[in-house]
Structure 1
Amino acid sequence: MGEEVIAKKSYPKRLDAAGKAPMKGRSMHINCTLDSLAKLKEKIGEDAYSQIRDQSKVGVLLKLADSSFVWWGKLVHHLLTHQLAISRPYEIWCLIEGSPIRFSLHEYEDITGLNCAEIDVEDIVAVDHREFWGDLKVAAEKGPNWNELESALKSCRSWSLEKRKMLGLLVVVHVGILGISRSSRIPLDYAKRVLDTEAFERFPWGRVGFKELITSIKVLSYDRTSYAIHGCPHVLNI
Protein backbone atom coordinates (compact mmCIF):
# COMPACT_ATOMS: atom_id res chain seq x y z
CA MET A 1 0.00 0.00 0.00
CA GLY A 2 1.21 3.45 -0.76
CA GLU A 3 1.85 5.91 1.98
CA GLU A 4 -1.32 7.71 3.00
CA VAL A 5 -1.04 11.46 2.77
CA ILE A 6 -3.39 13.56 4.86
CA ALA A 7 -3.65 17.17 3.80
CA LYS A 8 -3.23 19.54 6.69
CA LYS A 9 -5.67 22.39 6.76
CA SER A 10 -4.23 25.83 7.21
CA TYR A 11 -6.01 29.00 8.20
CA PRO A 12 -5.03 32.68 8.24
CA LYS A 13 -3.19 33.85 11.32
CA ARG A 14 -5.09 35.38 14.18
CA LEU A 15 -5.48 39.12 14.48
CA ASP A 16 -4.12 38.73 17.99
CA ALA A 17 -1.59 36.07 18.89
CA ALA A 18 -2.73 33.29 21.20
CA GLY A 19 -2.74 34.52 24.76
CA LYS A 20 -2.49 38.15 23.62
CA ALA A 21 -6.17 38.85 22.88
CA PRO A 22 -7.21 42.09 24.61
CA MET A 23 -9.74 40.48 26.93
CA LYS A 24 -9.20 42.17 30.25
CA GLY A 25 -10.15 45.73 31.07
CA ARG A 26 -12.28 46.23 27.95
CA SER A 27 -16.00 46.95 27.95
CA MET A 28 -18.38 46.84 25.01
CA HIS A 29 -20.95 49.54 24.36
CA ILE A 30 -24.02 48.77 22.23
CA ASN A 31 -26.88 51.02 21.15
CA CYS A 32 -29.19 48.16 20.19
CA THR A 33 -30.77 47.66 23.60
CA LEU A 34 -33.66 45.21 23.71
CA ASP A 35 -35.03 47.07 26.71
CA SER A 36 -35.59 50.16 24.54
CA LEU A 37 -37.52 48.07 22.02
CA ALA A 38 -39.58 46.27 24.67
CA LYS A 39 -40.67 49.60 26.16
CA LEU A 40 -42.21 50.58 22.84
CA LYS A 41 -45.39 48.69 23.74
CA GLU A 42 -46.32 51.07 26.55
CA LYS A 43 -45.26 54.11 24.52
CA ILE A 44 -46.99 53.58 21.16
CA GLY A 45 -49.74 51.29 22.44
CA GLU A 46 -50.43 47.57 22.14
CA ASP A 47 -52.25 48.00 18.81
CA ALA A 48 -49.37 49.71 17.00
CA TYR A 49 -46.77 47.52 18.68
CA SER A 50 -48.57 44.31 17.70
CA GLN A 51 -48.91 45.40 14.08
CA ILE A 52 -45.16 45.97 13.83
CA ARG A 53 -44.27 42.77 15.68
CA ASP A 54 -46.69 40.50 13.83
CA GLN A 55 -47.04 42.08 10.39
CA SER A 56 -43.79 43.87 9.57
CA LYS A 57 -40.67 42.11 8.35
CA VAL A 58 -38.65 43.96 10.99
CA GLY A 59 -41.02 42.62 13.66
CA VAL A 60 -38.51 39.87 14.39
CA LEU A 61 -36.61 42.42 16.50
CA LEU A 62 -39.63 43.07 18.69
CA LYS A 63 -40.16 39.32 19.02
CA LEU A 64 -36.57 39.09 20.22
CA ALA A 65 -37.23 41.89 22.72
CA ASP A 66 -40.35 40.07 23.96
CA SER A 67 -38.51 36.78 24.38
CA SER A 68 -36.49 35.54 27.31
CA PHE A 69 -33.29 36.13 25.34
CA VAL A 70 -30.33 36.99 27.53
CA TRP A 71 -27.61 39.22 26.12
CA TRP A 72 -24.18 37.80 26.91
CA GLY A 73 -21.64 40.44 26.02
CA LYS A 74 -18.68 38.36 27.20
CA LEU A 75 -19.38 35.74 24.52
CA VAL A 76 -19.49 38.34 21.75
CA HIS A 77 -16.34 39.98 23.12
CA HIS A 78 -14.65 36.57 23.08
CA LEU A 79 -15.61 36.07 19.43
CA LEU A 80 -14.39 39.50 18.40
CA THR A 81 -11.03 39.16 20.11
CA HIS A 82 -10.39 35.74 18.55
CA GLN A 83 -10.75 36.77 14.93
CA LEU A 84 -8.64 35.49 12.08
CA ALA A 85 -6.89 38.02 9.85
CA ILE A 86 -8.87 37.87 6.62
CA SER A 87 -9.15 40.43 3.82
CA ARG A 88 -12.83 39.99 2.99
CA PRO A 89 -14.56 43.22 4.06
CA TYR A 90 -17.95 41.68 4.83
CA GLU A 91 -16.95 38.53 6.69
CA ILE A 92 -15.34 37.73 9.98
CA TRP A 93 -13.84 34.40 10.96
CA CYS A 94 -13.24 33.52 14.60
CA LEU A 95 -11.10 30.71 15.98
CA ILE A 96 -12.99 28.96 18.77
CA GLU A 97 -11.32 25.98 20.46
CA GLY A 98 -9.19 25.37 17.40
CA SER A 99 -12.07 25.51 14.92
CA PRO A 100 -12.80 28.47 12.63
CA ILE A 101 -16.36 29.76 12.38
CA ARG A 102 -17.65 32.23 9.81
CA PHE A 103 -20.04 35.14 10.20
CA SER A 104 -21.21 36.73 6.96
CA LEU A 105 -24.35 38.08 5.34
CA HIS A 106 -25.56 34.49 4.85
CA GLU A 107 -25.43 33.71 8.57
CA TYR A 108 -26.99 37.05 9.43
CA GLU A 109 -29.89 36.35 7.07
CA ASP A 110 -30.38 32.82 8.38
CA ILE A 111 -30.46 33.99 11.99
CA THR A 112 -32.66 37.07 11.62
CA GLY A 113 -34.85 36.18 8.64
CA LEU A 114 -34.56 39.81 7.53
CA ASN A 115 -34.50 40.76 3.86
CA CYS A 116 -30.83 40.86 2.87
CA ALA A 117 -31.24 41.36 -0.89
CA GLU A 118 -29.16 43.92 -2.75
CA ILE A 119 -30.23 47.55 -2.35
CA ASP A 120 -31.90 48.96 -5.45
CA VAL A 121 -30.46 52.46 -5.82
CA GLU A 122 -33.38 53.39 -8.05
CA ASP A 123 -35.92 52.56 -5.34
CA ILE A 124 -36.45 56.15 -4.20
CA VAL A 125 -39.39 57.02 -1.98
CA ALA A 126 -41.12 60.21 -3.04
CA VAL A 127 -43.45 61.15 -0.17
CA ASP A 128 -44.21 64.39 1.57
CA HIS A 129 -42.85 63.81 5.04
CA ARG A 130 -43.01 67.38 6.29
CA GLU A 131 -46.23 67.09 8.32
CA PHE A 132 -45.07 63.99 10.21
CA TRP A 133 -41.62 65.48 10.70
CA GLY A 134 -43.37 68.49 12.20
CA ASP A 135 -45.05 66.18 14.73
CA LEU A 136 -41.62 64.75 15.51
CA LYS A 137 -40.14 68.26 15.73
CA VAL A 138 -37.43 67.25 13.26
CA ALA A 139 -36.07 69.53 10.53
CA ALA A 140 -37.50 68.49 7.16
CA GLU A 141 -34.10 67.97 5.57
CA LYS A 142 -32.89 65.55 8.27
CA GLY A 143 -33.69 62.12 9.57
CA PRO A 144 -34.54 61.85 13.30
CA ASN A 145 -32.09 60.97 16.03
CA TRP A 146 -32.88 59.02 19.19
CA ASN A 147 -33.38 62.08 21.39
CA GLU A 148 -36.09 63.39 19.04
CA LEU A 149 -37.75 59.99 18.83
CA GLU A 150 -37.69 59.59 22.60
CA SER A 151 -39.30 62.99 23.02
CA ALA A 152 -42.07 62.03 20.56
CA LEU A 153 -42.66 58.75 22.41
CA LYS A 154 -43.61 60.72 25.52
CA SER A 155 -46.49 62.49 23.79
CA CYS A 156 -47.66 60.16 21.03
CA ARG A 157 -50.50 58.28 22.76
CA SER A 158 -53.10 60.68 21.33
CA TRP A 159 -51.79 60.18 17.79
CA SER A 160 -53.56 58.02 15.23
CA LEU A 161 -52.66 54.34 14.98
CA GLU A 162 -50.90 55.00 11.68
CA LYS A 163 -48.65 57.71 13.12
CA ARG A 164 -47.84 55.70 16.25
CA LYS A 165 -46.88 52.76 14.06
CA MET A 166 -44.62 54.97 11.93
CA LEU A 167 -42.94 56.28 15.07
CA GLY A 168 -42.44 52.73 16.30
CA LEU A 169 -40.86 51.72 13.01
CA LEU A 170 -38.44 54.64 13.24
CA VAL A 171 -37.40 53.45 16.70
CA VAL A 172 -36.89 49.90 15.40
CA VAL A 173 -34.72 51.19 12.55
CA HIS A 174 -32.65 53.48 14.80
CA VAL A 175 -32.16 51.02 17.64
CA GLY A 176 -32.56 47.54 16.12
CA ILE A 177 -31.36 47.88 12.53
CA LEU A 178 -28.74 50.63 12.62
CA GLY A 179 -27.83 50.47 16.31
CA ILE A 180 -26.22 53.89 16.04
CA SER A 181 -25.40 56.37 18.79
CA ARG A 182 -28.21 58.38 20.35
CA SER A 183 -27.04 61.59 18.65
CA SER A 184 -26.72 60.01 15.18
CA ARG A 185 -29.54 60.44 12.68
CA ILE A 186 -31.34 57.89 10.56
CA PRO A 187 -30.52 58.70 6.91
CA LEU A 188 -33.44 60.68 5.52
CA ASP A 189 -34.07 58.24 2.67
CA TYR A 190 -34.39 55.38 5.15
CA ALA A 191 -36.57 57.34 7.55
CA LYS A 192 -39.09 58.49 4.93
CA ARG A 193 -39.93 54.89 4.11
CA VAL A 194 -42.10 54.61 7.21
CA LEU A 195 -44.68 56.77 5.41
CA ASP A 196 -45.01 54.18 2.62
CA THR A 197 -45.73 50.67 3.92
CA GLU A 198 -44.86 48.90 0.67
CA ALA A 199 -41.61 50.83 0.29
CA PHE A 200 -40.67 50.05 3.89
CA GLU A 201 -41.44 46.34 3.69
CA ARG A 202 -39.63 45.73 0.39
CA PHE A 203 -36.46 47.47 1.55
CA PRO A 204 -33.58 45.13 2.48
CA TRP A 205 -33.21 46.21 6.08
CA GLY A 206 -31.20 43.06 6.79
CA ARG A 207 -28.44 44.11 4.42
CA VAL A 208 -28.40 47.59 5.97
CA GLY A 209 -28.23 46.17 9.49
CA PHE A 210 -25.55 43.65 8.59
CA LYS A 211 -23.37 46.33 6.99
CA GLU A 212 -23.62 48.52 10.09
CA LEU A 213 -22.66 45.60 12.31
CA ILE A 214 -19.79 44.21 10.25
CA THR A 215 -18.32 47.63 9.44
CA SER A 216 -18.22 48.59 13.11
CA ILE A 217 -16.47 45.30 13.88
CA LYS A 218 -13.88 45.81 11.14
CA VAL A 219 -12.83 49.21 12.45
CA LEU A 220 -12.66 48.19 16.11
CA SER A 221 -9.72 49.29 18.16
CA TYR A 222 -9.03 47.84 21.58
CA ASP A 223 -6.58 50.59 22.50
CA ARG A 224 -9.12 52.16 24.82
CA THR A 225 -10.98 50.73 27.79
CA SER A 226 -14.27 50.59 25.87
CA TYR A 227 -15.47 50.19 22.31
CA ALA A 228 -18.81 50.49 20.50
CA ILE A 229 -20.65 48.06 18.21
CA HIS A 230 -23.31 49.27 15.80
CA GLY A 231 -26.15 47.24 14.32
CA CYS A 232 -27.65 44.34 16.27
CA PRO A 233 -24.75 42.46 17.93
CA HIS A 234 -27.27 40.09 19.54
CA VAL A 235 -27.12 38.14 16.27
CA LEU A 236 -23.64 37.01 17.28
CA ASN A 237 -25.06 35.78 20.57
CA ILE A 238 -27.88 33.61 19.20
Structure 2
Amino acid sequence: MEENTVDHRLPERLFATDRFARYRLNIYSRPNILAFVRHVLRYSLAFGNIRESSFRKLFDLPTRQIPVSCKLIHNLLSRQLLCNQEYTLWSVFCKDPLRFSLEEFGTITGLNCGVFPKGYEAPDYNRKGANKQKVAHKYPLLQKIIGKYNNITISDLAAELENDKQMDEWRRIRLALIIIVDGVLIASQQIHRPTLRYVHMLEDVMLSSNSLGSVNLSCTPYVT
Protein backbone atom coordinates (compact mmCIF):
# COMPACT_ATOMS: atom_id res chain seq x y z
CA MET A 1 0.00 0.00 0.00
CA GLU A 2 1.44 3.38 -0.98
CA GLU A 3 2.08 5.91 1.80
CA ASN A 4 -0.79 8.27 0.92
CA THR A 5 -3.33 5.65 -0.12
CA VAL A 6 -6.61 5.57 1.82
CA ASP A 7 -6.68 2.70 4.32
CA HIS A 8 -10.34 1.69 4.71
CA ARG A 9 -9.58 -0.11 7.96
CA LEU A 10 -9.17 3.30 9.61
CA PRO A 11 -11.77 6.04 10.27
CA GLU A 12 -12.27 8.75 7.68
CA ARG A 13 -9.59 11.42 7.53
CA LEU A 14 -10.27 15.05 8.31
CA PHE A 15 -8.54 16.08 5.08
CA ALA A 16 -8.35 14.29 1.75
CA THR A 17 -5.09 12.45 1.23
CA ASP A 18 -3.92 15.00 -1.35
CA ARG A 19 -4.95 18.07 0.64
CA PHE A 20 -3.37 19.82 3.62
CA ALA A 21 -4.42 22.18 6.39
CA ARG A 22 -4.12 25.83 5.38
CA TYR A 23 -4.71 27.58 8.69
CA ARG A 24 -1.71 28.89 10.62
CA LEU A 25 -0.40 26.72 13.41
CA ASN A 26 0.01 27.99 16.95
CA ILE A 27 3.80 27.99 17.09
CA TYR A 28 4.24 30.56 19.83
CA SER A 29 5.27 28.24 22.67
CA ARG A 30 8.91 28.69 23.70
CA PRO A 31 10.21 25.66 25.63
CA ASN A 32 13.58 27.38 26.12
CA ILE A 33 11.82 29.55 28.72
CA LEU A 34 12.05 26.55 31.05
CA ALA A 35 15.85 26.65 30.83
CA PHE A 36 15.72 30.38 31.55
CA VAL A 37 13.57 29.89 34.67
CA ARG A 38 15.87 27.12 35.91
CA HIS A 39 18.92 29.35 35.44
CA VAL A 40 17.46 32.49 37.01
CA LEU A 41 15.93 30.70 40.03
CA ARG A 42 18.71 28.15 40.58
CA TYR A 43 19.36 27.33 44.26
CA SER A 44 16.34 29.41 45.31
CA LEU A 45 13.40 28.44 47.50
CA ALA A 46 11.04 29.42 44.67
CA PHE A 47 12.59 26.95 42.24
CA GLY A 48 12.64 24.23 44.88
CA ASN A 49 8.91 24.74 45.33
CA ILE A 50 8.28 24.59 41.57
CA ARG A 51 10.28 21.36 41.34
CA GLU A 52 8.00 19.86 43.99
CA SER A 53 4.85 20.96 42.13
CA SER A 54 2.97 19.46 39.21
CA PHE A 55 5.39 21.34 36.92
CA ARG A 56 8.36 19.22 37.97
CA LYS A 57 8.38 17.01 34.85
CA LEU A 58 8.62 20.02 32.56
CA PHE A 59 12.11 20.63 33.89
CA ASP A 60 13.14 17.06 33.14
CA LEU A 61 12.58 17.66 29.41
CA PRO A 62 15.75 18.40 27.39
CA THR A 63 14.27 21.66 26.12
CA ARG A 64 17.43 22.80 24.35
CA GLN A 65 17.26 19.70 22.15
CA ILE A 66 13.50 19.67 21.47
CA PRO A 67 12.49 22.83 19.60
CA VAL A 68 8.90 22.97 18.39
CA SER A 69 8.78 21.14 15.06
CA CYS A 70 6.12 22.97 13.03
CA LYS A 71 6.60 20.59 10.11
CA LEU A 72 5.90 17.58 12.34
CA ILE A 73 2.80 19.17 13.87
CA HIS A 74 1.55 20.17 10.40
CA ASN A 75 1.95 16.62 9.12
CA LEU A 76 0.14 15.11 12.11
CA LEU A 77 -2.79 17.52 11.69
CA SER A 78 -2.91 16.94 7.94
CA ARG A 79 -3.28 13.21 8.56
CA GLN A 80 -5.82 13.55 11.36
CA LEU A 81 -8.59 10.96 11.67
CA LEU A 82 -12.20 11.76 12.52
CA CYS A 83 -12.96 10.08 15.87
CA ASN A 84 -15.59 10.54 18.56
CA GLN A 85 -13.19 10.67 21.50
CA GLU A 86 -13.12 14.09 23.12
CA TYR A 87 -9.83 15.89 23.76
CA THR A 88 -7.97 13.28 21.70
CA LEU A 89 -6.09 13.62 18.42
CA TRP A 90 -5.83 10.52 16.23
CA SER A 91 -3.47 10.72 13.28
CA VAL A 92 -1.89 8.31 10.79
CA PHE A 93 1.80 7.59 11.13
CA CYS A 94 3.44 5.06 8.79
CA LYS A 95 -0.07 3.76 7.93
CA ASP A 96 -0.82 3.08 11.60
CA PRO A 97 -3.11 5.12 13.91
CA LEU A 98 -1.34 7.33 16.46
CA ARG A 99 -3.11 8.80 19.50
CA PHE A 100 -2.25 11.96 21.42
CA SER A 101 -4.69 12.92 24.16
CA LEU A 102 -4.87 14.59 27.56
CA GLU A 103 -3.64 11.31 29.02
CA GLU A 104 -0.44 11.45 26.97
CA PHE A 105 -0.08 15.17 27.65
CA GLY A 106 -0.35 14.50 31.37
CA THR A 107 2.19 11.67 31.18
CA ILE A 108 4.73 13.87 29.42
CA THR A 109 4.27 17.04 31.47
CA GLY A 110 3.22 15.62 34.84
CA LEU A 111 0.31 18.08 34.99
CA ASN A 112 -3.02 17.13 36.51
CA CYS A 113 -5.31 16.36 33.56
CA GLY A 114 -8.00 14.51 35.50
CA VAL A 115 -11.63 15.40 36.07
CA PHE A 116 -12.62 18.44 38.08
CA PRO A 117 -13.45 17.98 41.77
CA LYS A 118 -17.10 17.42 42.61
CA GLY A 119 -18.98 20.71 42.81
CA TYR A 120 -16.38 22.66 40.82
CA GLU A 121 -17.78 25.46 38.67
CA ALA A 122 -15.55 26.87 35.96
CA PRO A 123 -15.47 30.70 35.90
CA ASP A 124 -16.84 32.39 32.81
CA TYR A 125 -13.74 33.74 31.09
CA ASN A 126 -15.48 34.17 27.73
CA ARG A 127 -17.22 37.38 28.67
CA LYS A 128 -15.93 40.49 26.93
CA GLY A 129 -12.76 41.88 28.46
CA ALA A 130 -12.42 39.10 31.02
CA ASN A 131 -8.74 38.50 30.25
CA LYS A 132 -7.63 41.99 29.23
CA GLN A 133 -4.96 43.86 31.15
CA LYS A 134 -6.88 47.11 30.70
CA VAL A 135 -9.19 46.04 33.54
CA ALA A 136 -6.24 45.30 35.82
CA HIS A 137 -7.18 48.15 38.17
CA LYS A 138 -10.17 46.05 39.27
CA TYR A 139 -7.93 43.22 40.45
CA PRO A 140 -5.55 44.07 43.33
CA LEU A 141 -3.79 40.69 42.96
CA LEU A 142 -2.76 41.53 39.40
CA GLN A 143 -1.38 44.90 40.49
CA LYS A 144 0.44 43.31 43.42
CA ILE A 145 2.19 40.70 41.29
CA ILE A 146 2.71 42.52 37.99
CA GLY A 147 2.33 46.19 38.85
CA LYS A 148 0.33 49.03 37.38
CA TYR A 149 1.40 48.52 33.80
CA ASN A 150 -0.60 48.37 30.59
CA ASN A 151 0.26 45.71 28.01
CA ILE A 152 3.23 44.36 29.95
CA THR A 153 4.80 41.35 28.25
CA ILE A 154 6.19 38.06 29.49
CA SER A 155 9.57 39.30 28.25
CA ASP A 156 9.26 42.31 30.59
CA LEU A 157 8.45 40.03 33.52
CA ALA A 158 11.37 37.73 32.66
CA ALA A 159 13.76 40.70 32.62
CA GLU A 160 12.48 41.84 36.00
CA LEU A 161 12.77 38.32 37.42
CA GLU A 162 16.37 38.11 36.22
CA ASN A 163 17.56 41.57 37.24
CA ASP A 164 15.75 42.31 40.51
CA LYS A 165 17.97 40.55 43.04
CA GLN A 166 15.97 41.94 45.98
CA MET A 167 12.58 40.59 44.85
CA ASP A 168 10.60 38.79 47.55
CA GLU A 169 10.30 35.02 47.15
CA TRP A 170 6.49 35.13 47.16
CA ARG A 171 6.58 37.34 44.04
CA ARG A 172 9.45 35.48 42.35
CA ILE A 173 7.55 32.21 42.33
CA ARG A 174 4.38 33.84 41.00
CA LEU A 175 6.19 35.61 38.18
CA ALA A 176 7.96 32.35 37.31
CA LEU A 177 4.62 30.49 37.14
CA ILE A 178 3.09 33.19 34.93
CA ILE A 179 6.09 32.98 32.60
CA ILE A 180 5.84 29.18 32.41
CA VAL A 181 2.09 29.11 31.74
CA ASP A 182 1.80 32.02 29.30
CA GLY A 183 5.16 31.49 27.63
CA VAL A 184 5.25 27.70 27.30
CA LEU A 185 2.00 25.88 28.11
CA ILE A 186 -0.74 28.24 26.90
CA ALA A 187 1.15 30.51 24.50
CA SER A 188 -1.45 31.73 22.00
CA GLN A 189 0.08 34.88 20.54
CA GLN A 190 3.38 36.03 19.13
CA ILE A 191 4.00 38.55 21.89
CA HIS A 192 3.41 36.71 25.15
CA ARG A 193 1.44 38.60 27.78
CA PRO A 194 0.15 37.54 31.20
CA THR A 195 -3.45 36.30 31.09
CA LEU A 196 -5.79 37.49 33.80
CA ARG A 197 -7.44 34.11 34.33
CA TYR A 198 -4.09 32.46 35.12
CA VAL A 199 -3.01 35.28 37.42
CA HIS A 200 -6.18 34.61 39.44
CA MET A 201 -4.99 31.03 39.97
CA LEU A 202 -1.93 32.30 41.87
CA GLU A 203 -3.99 33.60 44.76
CA ASP A 204 -3.59 30.47 46.86
CA VAL A 205 0.09 29.70 46.10
CA MET A 206 1.96 29.21 49.36
CA LEU A 207 5.72 28.94 49.76
CA SER A 208 7.05 26.16 51.94
CA SER A 209 10.34 24.35 52.38
CA ASN A 210 9.32 21.42 50.21
CA SER A 211 6.10 22.06 48.28
CA LEU A 212 3.82 24.54 46.56
CA GLY A 213 1.14 24.16 49.18
CA SER A 214 -2.37 24.53 47.81
CA VAL A 215 -1.46 25.70 44.34
CA ASN A 216 -3.88 24.36 41.74
CA LEU A 217 -2.70 24.94 38.19
CA SER A 218 -4.23 21.90 36.54
CA CYS A 219 -4.58 21.27 32.83
CA THR A 220 -8.24 21.51 31.85
CA PRO A 221 -9.95 20.34 28.65
CA TYR A 222 -11.23 23.81 27.76
CA VAL A 223 -7.83 25.48 27.90
CA THR A 224 -6.84 26.79 24.47
Establish whether TM, by shorter chain, passes 0.5.
yes
Aligned 8 A contact 1:45 1:157 in 2: no
Percent of paired sites with the same residue: 21
TM-score under structure 2 normalisation? 0.67
Match of 1:115 among 112, 117, 135: 112
Aligned 8 A contact 1:166 1:195 in 2: no
Aligned 8 A contact 1:156 1:164 in 2: no
Q: Secondary structure at the match of 2:164?
A: coil
User: Partner of 2:187 in structure 1?
Assistant: 179
Q: Secondary structure at the match of 1:85?
A: coil
C-alpha displacement of 1:130: 3.6
Residue segments in structure 1 that go unaligned for 5+ positions in a row: 1-7, 216-238
Q: Secondary structure at the match of 2:104?
A: helix
CA–CA distance in 1 between the matches of 2:214 and 2:50?
A: 18
TM-score under structure 1 normalisation? 0.64
The answer to whether structure 1 residue 170 and structure 2 residue 170 are counterparts is no
Over 3 Å counting, the alpha-carbon distance change for 1:68 and 1:48 in structure 2 is farther
CA–CA distance in 2 between the matches of 1:162 and 1:199?
A: 14
C-alpha displacement of 1:84: 1.0
User: Partner of 1:137 in structure 2?
Assistant: 147
C-alpha displacement of 1:135: 4.8
- Higher helix fraction (1 or 2): 1
Aligned 8 A contact 2:12 2:82 in 1: yes
Greater shift, 150-159 or 33-42, is seen at 150-159
One-letter amino acid matched to 1:191: L
Q: Secondary structure at the match of 1:39?
A: helix
- By relative contact order (CA 8 Å, sep 6+), the higher-ranking structure is 1
Residue segments in structure 2 that go unaligned for 5+ positions in a row: 1-6, 124-138
User: Partner of 1:21 in structure 2?
Assistant: 20
User: Partner of 2:214 in structure 1?
Assistant: 199
Match of 2:164 among 133, 153, 156: 156
Number of aligned residues: 193
Aligned 8 A contact 1:137 1:148 in 2: no
C-alpha displacement of 1:119: 2.4
Over 3 Å counting, the alpha-carbon distance change for 1:115 and 1:52 in structure 2 is same
CA–CA distance in 1 between the matches of 2:100 and 2:141?
A: 41
CA–CA distance in 2 between the matches of 1:175 and 1:73?
A: 17
Write the deviation string for residues 181-220 of structure 1: whole angstroms up to 9, x where unpaired. Answer: 32461404323243573221xx362x33x643xx5xxxxx
Q: Secondary structure at the match of 1:173?
A: helix
Q: Alignment RMSD, CA only?
A: 3.6
User: Partner of 1:10 in structure 2?
Assistant: 9
